[in-house]
Amino acid sequence: MQNILALDQGTTSSRAVLVGHDAKILGVAQHEFKQIYPNVGWVEHDPYDILTSQLSSAVEVLGKANIRPRDVIAIGITNQRETTIVWNRDTGKPIYNAIVWQDRRGAPLCEKLTRDGAEDTIRQKTGLLIDPYFSATKISWILDNVEGARAQAEQGKLAFGTVDSWLVWNLTSGKRHITDRTNASRTMLYNIVEDRWDADLLNMLNIPESMMPEVVWSSEIVGQVTTSLGLGSVQIAGIAGDQQSALFGQLCVSPGDAKNTYGTGCFLLQNIGNKFTLSQQRLITTLTCSPQKKLEYALEGSIFVGGAVVQWLRDNMRFFSSSPDVESVAASVKDTDGVVFVPAFTGLGAPHWDPYASGMIIGIQRSTQIGHIARAALESIAFQVADVLQAMNKDTRQPFRELRVDGGAASNDILMQFQADLLQIPVRRPAELETTALGAAYLAGLAVDFWSSTEEIAKVLGGDKLFEPQADRKEMEARQAKWQDAVKRAGGWNRTNA
């Protein structure tokens, strides 16, 4: 029996997921890897940690499920977006660590671009706001700060890629230097209206076009895996940035369909169809996955710290030893006792876009316990999602009737119930939370006719769990006003440290 192998390369771990024809998950393997923090607001990964953790997971899941490589019909790849890797084309070696999407070192260059009046040009071409979140200023920083990098780039010796590009380059032994349109649309260099790398933007940031990968569709056969990797000679047939992959995994394929992923960050995306439309609420417009090979768009609100706040409580504060334990710790108290937690560890994303905001816990009293802080941390995720959803409602003028959710933190019932209470709409959680990996699997499977259509996939999916609002609306509005006050207090705190 044939299967699809999805490689889900995330911010803190690499996962490999085997998916059968019934869209059921047959096996999962996961390996975490080191996070590197060289400076305030800087976040890096070793590109070889990314690669080896992903390959190890892939080989491991085949062994665990007792599946031979020849039983895998195709591979789909989904990845942390915006994370930037630059490597030498001849040696295949990175010239610097991967600069992670959370990294804020590009803030001064972003301020210069804004002062120079580039914001409208960049928005009209890319759908993005000027922010160090995106890849462009990360590439510029590498070229300006790594010895010899700019000279090598101008000689055509360097390749840039988001994580999907790095994985495909290595999986194909350097034969393919590609990215898909969803990842390209996150670089602040790709014109999502004209469907090309934009020469004006590349010149503005002094980045040679020779560094850019070829851009492919999210669902098409793009290359064969090198047999020496223990994965046989399987075709790579699907590529998508993790949030677009999750949108597709939730089968949000019609305008108005929307989902929120609760991962390291939180990402709310709404399909808006084939017309490029700019947000009036400081959200961004991005490309979605299109098996039909047509340009299709989504509005997106990106939250930098979602589930990562739980990891922080686990690893930095040692409140508990395992992330799922946060639920029992939070359940040990009936509320936050007035504590508000703003997890702006790497600034604030949508709709605030403040790279200098700082993390803050306010409302601590003599009676404050670990449970209050844990509960406030969980609630901070829901508050941020509410900020984005309300902004999106204003943009589309079609208020959400429900919110589809996925990602690891969506398994937390306390968080999901509070989210429904805060939004005052139902929250729908699918039976299978691995929608990011499933999206990559669906894209690959459709490309090789493993499935004939999204309708065929929809027929075999399992049931959902619905969280209905239970709290008083006025109480929730008062809680959100308190949250907004805390966000303002956290704003701009790190400006003198940048």
Structure tokens of 488?
A: 């303002």
Q: Is the dihedral of CA 238, 240, 244, 246 positive or negative?
A: positive
Q: Would you say 264 is a known binding-site residue?
A: yes
Residue 11 annotated in ligand binding: yes
Strand pairing partners for 98? 45
Q: Which residues pair with 367 in a beta bridge?
A: none
Would you say 117 is a known binding-site residue?
Answer: no
Is residue 349 annotated as involved in ligand binding? no
Q: What is the Cα–Cα distance from 219 to 292, expressed in whole angstroms?
A: 8
Would the annotation count 148 as a binding residue?
A: no
What's the start-to-end Cα distance of the chain, in Å? 55
Contact status, residue 270 vs residue 279, Cβ threshold 8 Å: no
432 is in an annotated binding site: no
HSE, CB side, 13 Å, CA atoms: give it for residue 64: 15
* 13 annotated as a binding-site residue: yes
Which two tokens mark 425? 């709409």
**In this structure, are residues 369 and 355 in contact, taking their beta carbons and an 8 Å threshold?**
no
Site of tokens 């316990």: 369
- Residue 478's CB is within 10 A of a number of other CB atoms, namely 11
Residues in the chain, how many?
498
What the block records as the tokens of 9 is 């390369």
Distance CA 77, CA 86 (A): 19
104 carries a ligand binding annotation: no
Neighbours of 481 (CB within 10 A): 9
Q: Report how far apart, in Å, the C-alpha atoms of 173 and of each of 165, 166, 260, 396 are.
A: 12, 11, 35, 45
Q: Is 3 annotated as a binding residue?
A: no
For the stretch 126-157, what's the b/e string if a residue is b when 16 or more beta carbons lie within 10 angstroms of its beta carbon? Answer: bbbbbbbbbbbbbbbbbbeebeebbebbeeeb
Q: What's the rounded Cα separation, in Å, for the pair 210 and 356?
A: 33
Under DSSP, the state recorded for 105 is T
d(CA 427, CA 351): 21
Q: Which residue has the tokens 């006025």?
A: 474
| Residue 133 labeled ligand binder | yes
Distance of alpha carbon 274 from alpha carbon 271, whole angstroms? 9
380 is in an annotated binding site: no
d(CA 151, CA 155): 6
191 is in an annotated binding site: no
Show the tokens assigned to 463: 């049931």
Closest by Cα among 15, 54, 425, 471 to 230: 54
Which residue numbers belong to the known binding site for glycerol? Answer: 81-82, 133, 242-243
Which residue numbers belong to the known binding site? Answer: 11-13, 15, 81-82, 133, 242-243, 264, 307, 311, 408, 412
Which residue numbers belong to the known binding site for ATP? Answer: 11-13, 264, 307, 311, 408
Which residue numbers belong to the known binding site for sn-glycerol 3-phosphate? Answer: 11, 81-82, 133, 242
Which residue numbers belong to the known binding site for ADP? Answer: 11, 15, 264, 307, 408, 412
